[in-house]
Structure 1
Amino acid sequence: MPAAPVANAIAMSDPLAGAVEVLPDRLYYIALKAHPRQDNTTTLTSGKTRHIHYFCVDTELVYWNFFLDFGPLNLGQLNRFCTKLNEKLSSTDASLSSKVVCFYSSASPAKRTNAIFLITAWQVLFLDRTPEEAYNGFRSEDDGNAPSASCSLPPRIVKSAPRSSIRSIQPTPPFHDASPCECTYDLSILDCLRGLVKARMYRFFDFDDFDVDEYEYFEQVENGDLNWIIKDKILAFAGPHYQREVSPEGYCTLAPSDYIPYFRRKKVGLVVRLNKKCYDEKEFVKAGINHFEQYYLDGSCPPIKVLQRIVGVFERVQPDKGFAVHCKAGLGRTGTCIGAYIMKHYRFTAAEAIGWMRICRPGMVIGPQQQFLHDLEQRLW
């Protein structure tokens, strides 16, 4: 108890007390229970005093959950965050360039976890830090405990830069799958960062020519509900129906004719259906797009022979063509089969593949499908 007044005094004298230092004397992150005063100042290591520029994206970049899932934020949101932060750090405006930049979020576990994902992802993309280096300053003391078999928490880092003396942060919860049930597979921020780094290495995406407006347009249900997992190669989307309809509740279903012009433009050579027939595949075939069907039960894991058949079809697509995969929602079965392909051909771990796919298309791989991919690692490698 005697230490409390001292801690409070430190917090009052330095508004960055408890923040994580990302760039010395330049960029910090902190979780707050209330909005900070914009006229706050802090003292640099040189002894100089600087004003603090705070910014927050909690209400701007919002994760739209299916059930108990809360993140990670998607690739379009990550792109918008990186653009915003880079503009602030490179600004020549004296009112901003002379200030310390502090990215902050709500102290709620979900908002804090998503914010930490954003700022650490920015570090690996724009500072070329490893996932471990980027995440090190955000580790809680609890992270040193032995993780469960299904959890990938960061190891203790010895060689990286020491933690900031003003660093203090609570543990971040693992990301939850898109289900209403208890999640038995823990996906960490570090898993997502590792998947992101491998995806960049293999050029699954490139922010230098990333069209964020196009990404945000096609992720909308009424515009296709589709996302590229590997740029120009693997696309995941929600299953089409016989007719384009809008339900009384406002839910929109699309027909093959809604997808064909885009698929032709993007050189999609194959559509793979994993759910029950809800449209006439001949529409794709007549448009010069091959079609393959392999149904298995919604929410389940495919028998190994079925998975081998599906992945084999993926592998036979011409190198200059892409392929589009769907089930009912384009999340569970679709993510499982695409994930297995990525693990086999690019040596992603299951956690890295799931993390990357959820960044591309939130909600991918659900329930037992997560552990299924984890158990397949050695067989696929």
Structure 2
Amino acid sequence: EPSQARVTKMNGDTHSRENDGGYALAGGLRSARDLARKFLPNKRRVSQPQAQGPEAARSARVSRGQPPEPARRFMVGEVYPVVQGRLAFAVHSSSDMTKAAIRRRPDLFFCSSDIHERYEAFCSDFGPVNLAAVHGFVDFMNEYTKHPQLRERTVVYYAEEEPELRTNACFLLCAYLVIEHGYSPEGAWEPFAAIMGDPFLTFRDATYQPQDYFLTVLACCQGIKKAMSLGWYSPDEFIAEDYEVLDDPSNADLHRVCPKFVAFKGPSEVKKKLVEGVYTFPPEHYCGIFQVMGVGAVVRLNEASTYDARGFTENGVRHY
């Protein structure tokens, strides 16, 4: 039987080598073009699973005019059912609390990870974690929820007491239900919405200014569901390692937001090291990536003095 402990899943080691343009790329890739080829999405779409199990039961209760499961007030150490008899959520204030819970509830299996902690803040922002982390969390949870020795026990994912961390954990669990079990975003959010006391925050923009837009966990899950319905994200075909290569600030700091739109860190006139492992790159560095990804134009959002647009235009990329 797997041991009940805090489980940390870290990325595998990466190796750097010089590419054709003289820039070091992680992941053993030889060139920016090689990097882009690895990341090109497969356009084949797969059918999505239908809502099932507990969510279907909730929908049936509502259709019969019956109330959903009763709301419960938020308390540290309490176990909150997410999927009845199979999955639950808890917040623990210390490792001693976790150990005590394990001794007190042998019918439950407690597990956690560092995945809900992986968001790297720019300012006052704290999440949500990126798509590679979400994808990895689905694999992580499947290791336990599908483990043959845990079929008769409820798996409890626990997070720390800090509101930011428990909110990221809540988002990951909701995303897991949407991606792996075909829940609607509303059905995935329902058990968390029933926890009274507003224990979960809304996500915010990456500034230190007062928050004026409130991005909910539900809205994030609706975005995932929409991306899946459009074929922009396919769990069966997504390769997290490739995503992380482009995400890596020592490579490109670039993301394909949708098939027609790519966002990337603003270029600089020459390659610059900002801090250890974080660089800015000249336009030429991105042109090989853009050619393979089908990017034909760049829109400048920063000052004209930061880089010379000819680095794009002389390599076949329009600039505005």
Do both share a fold (TM > 0.5)?
yes
Aligned to 1:199: 227
- Superposed CA offset, 1:162-194 (max 9, x none): xxxxx6664312112111121122221112112
**SS of the counterpart of 2:213?**
coil
Alignment of 1:147-226 (within 5 A): 170-226=198-254
Amino acid at match of 1:273: R
Corresponding residue for residue 244 of structure 1: 271
Mapped partners of 1:58, 1:32: distance in 2: 14
Structure 1 residues not aligned, in runs of 5+: 1-15, 43-49, 141-166, 294-381
Q: Offset at 1:280?
A: 2.7
Counterpart among 35, 58, 71 of residue 127 in structure 2 = 71
Stretches of structure 2 lacking an aligned partner (at least 5 in a row): 1-75
Alpha-carbon displacement from aligned partner over 1:14-34 (angstroms, at most 9, x marks no partner): xx9732212221211111112
Which of 105, 111, 116 aligns to 1:55? It is 111
1:88 maps onto 2:144 in alignment: yes
Q: Paired residues, what number? A: 241
Taking structure 2 as the reference length, what is the TM-score of the superposition?
0.68
2:11 aligned residue:
none
Aligned to 2:311: 283
> What's the secondary structure of 1:20's corresponding residue?
strand
User: CA, structure 1 residues 250+19, in 2 after alignment: closer, same or farther (shift >3 Å)?
Assistant: closer
Q: Report the secondary structure of 1:227's partner residue.
A: strand
1:202 Cα deviation after fit: 1.5
8 Å Cα contact 1:139/1:169 also seen in 2: no
Which position in structure 2 is the counterpart of 1:229?
257
Contact 2:77 2:92 in 1 (8 A): no
User: Matches of 1:28 and 1:248 in 2, distance apart?
Assistant: 40
In structure 2, the residue matched to 1:274 is 301
Contact 1:138 1:169 in 2 (8 A): no
Q: Which runs of 4+ in 1 moved over 4 A?
A: 167-170, 247-251
Of structures 1 and 2, the one scoring higher in RCO (CA 8 A, sep 6+) is 2
> Which letter does structure 2 place at the counterpart of 1:118?
L
Partner Cα separation in structure 1 for residue 257 and residue 197 of structure 2: 33
Cα deviation 1:57-82 (Å, max 9, x = unaligned): 24774211111111111111111111
**CA distance in structure 2 between the partners assigned to 1:78 and 1:287 by the alignment:** 35
TM-score when scaled to structure 1? 0.58
Cα distance in 2 for partners of 1:17, 1:243 equals 52
SS of residue paired to 2:193: coil
Deviations 1:221-280 (A, max 9, x none): 2211111111x4211001111211224777521012221222222222222222222223
Say what the alpha-carbon RMSD is for the aligned residues: 2.4
Using a 3 Å threshold, how does the CA distance of structure 1 residues 33 and 247 change in structure 2: closer, same or farther?
closer
Contact 2:246 2:253 in 1 (8 A): yes
Q: What residue in structure 1 maps to residue 170 of structure 2?
A: 116
What fraction of aligned residue pairs are identical, expressed as a percent? Answer: 29
- Partner secondary structure for residue 221 of structure 1: coil
Provide the rounded CA distance (Å) in 2 between the counterparts of 1:258 and 1:110: 36
Distance 1:122 1:83 in 2: 9
Q: Give the alignment of 1:301-320 within 5 angstroms.
A: none
